[in-house]
Amino acid sequence: MDDPKYARRVLWLVLGLSLFNYIDRQVLYAVFPLIKADLRLSDAQLGFLASSFMIVYMCFAPFVGYFGDRVRRPLIIGVSAIFWSIATLFSGVVKNYGQLIATRSAVGIGEAGYGTACPSFLAEWFPQEKRARIMALYALGIPLGSAIGYLLGGYLGQHFGWRNAFFIVAVPGMFLGVATLFLRETPEKLKRSEHIDFRGYAALFKNRTFLLICLAQSIGTFSVGGMSAWMPSYFVRAFDISVGKAGLLFGAVTVLAGITGNFAGGWAADWLHKRTKRSYFIVGYLSFFLSIPFGAAAILTNDLHTSLVMMFFAEFFIFAYSGPYHAAIVEVVPVTMRSMAFALDIFLIHALGDAISPFLLGVVSDSAGLPVALFLAMIYLVFGGFVSIAAGEAYKKDFHAA
């Protein structure tokens, strides 16, 4: 915060890491149809590939969070990026389903270290009045990285095979990880040298606002995780298009909606923050409620172009809460326990979200069809809106906001 030039340097490097964090994660979904045919898997087995990653990711996060409050966070972030990139590389050399589960689970270990330490590290380089926007930029890695993952995965998978898709996307993350090792810790963190006793983290479970933020995010993550895993396959099945075209279309919609939605949510929250301290939560519940009708319409229509337009608006609104809720966590949690706070956030949103949704949607798809599974995932978002309202009320009472 005391060095704007250095803060911008940190921002650009973190944005690069965030991008490849999601490219390496989402490329799997673009090549689902190719893996399904090659390894002869069911939809439930495909879904569990995504779920196994999330299970390891969320379980490893609290372990890293403990050390993230004690060790230089750039060291944790850099080593994590190198680790997940190597695991992605090995995903291309597997011989069977069990080995693929193992390598995707290893990706989860690396990305848990990054996701736990990085948000608070980045936010602390900027003043509070800019943090929703900065966190929105950080969250751009989700749609932009996902979109590139779909685009590259679909194109490379179709033209060079799904194994080569993993090989190619793994390399940049290694170089970015090495560069991150040399970053400085934030001034805010260096001023607070005391360490929280492990029992002191119990305070997080008494922080109603924090827990409600996590619960709201878990609902959004359930639906978005399910859509991310299955929408390319839905386009292939419902509209009889190729894997490459499905990845291209869904990737393009995701990146456009993600960029505009994240920017809109972050800027709206910072603008509204001058008028009410509950701005993060107002943007949050509007994000959930406004996304539902568009998401449902994307599944109910029989026209590909209409489905793409509706999916754009659904993703635009659901991405809008990312920046504000990351900023809210930084605001309501002390600096000495923010890494663990984000670790617990990761655990909860994925345990209740996309650790189970790809598999559950796969099970529903096997029995009732993929459109039914995706429609239910869209409707589930209504609960996220009500939880976001409750989070705003808890914030008002517990933090005396206007």
pLDDT at 402: 47
pLDDT at 194: 64
87 in Cβ contact with 107 (< 8 Å): yes
Q: Look at residue 351 and tell me if it is in a domain.
A: yes
Task: Tell whether the model's pLDDT for residue 7 goes beyond 50.
Answer: yes
pLDDT digits (tens, 9 = 90+) for 185-208: 888 887 766 666 777 788 899 999
pLDDT at 74: 92
- Report if residue 184 sits inside a domain: no
Residue 195 lies in a domain: no
Q: What is the CATH number of the domain that holds 393?
A: 1.20.1250.20
Using a 10 angstrom Cβ sphere, with 0-12 exposed, 13-18 middle and 19 or more buried, the burial of residue 196 is middle
Rounded to whole angstroms, how far apart are CA atoms 258 and 396?
29
Mean pLDDT of the chain: 86
How buried is residue 130: exposed, middle or buried, by Cβ count under 10 Å (0-12/13-18/19+)? Answer: middle
What per-residue confidence (pLDDT) applies to 329? 92
Q: Is 50 among the domain residues? A: yes
Query: What's the one-letter identity of residue 94?
Result: V
Residue 192 falls inside a structural domain: no
Tell whether 356 is covered by a domain: yes
Residue 253: pLDDT above 60?
yes
Instruction: Give the separation between CA 141 and CA 23, rounded to whole angstroms.
Output: 9
Domain contains 166: yes
Predicted confidence (pLDDT) per residue in 128-172, tens digit: 778 888 888 887 777 778 778 877 887 887 788 888 888 888 888
Count the domains in the chain: 1
* pTM summary value: 0.75
- Residue 155 CB contacts under 8 Å (≥ 6 apart), including other chains: 244, 247, 248
Confidence band for 400, pLDDT divided at 50, 70 and 90: low
Which range marks the domain in which residue 278 is found? 4-179+201-398
Interatomic CA distance for residues 222 and 378, integer angstroms: 10
> Cα separation of 251 and 26, whole Å?
10
296 vs 24: which has the higher pLDDT? 296
- What would the two tokens of residue 119 be? 């948000």
pLDDT confidence band for 1 (50 / 70 / 90): low
Tell me, yes or no, whether 26 lies in a domain.
yes
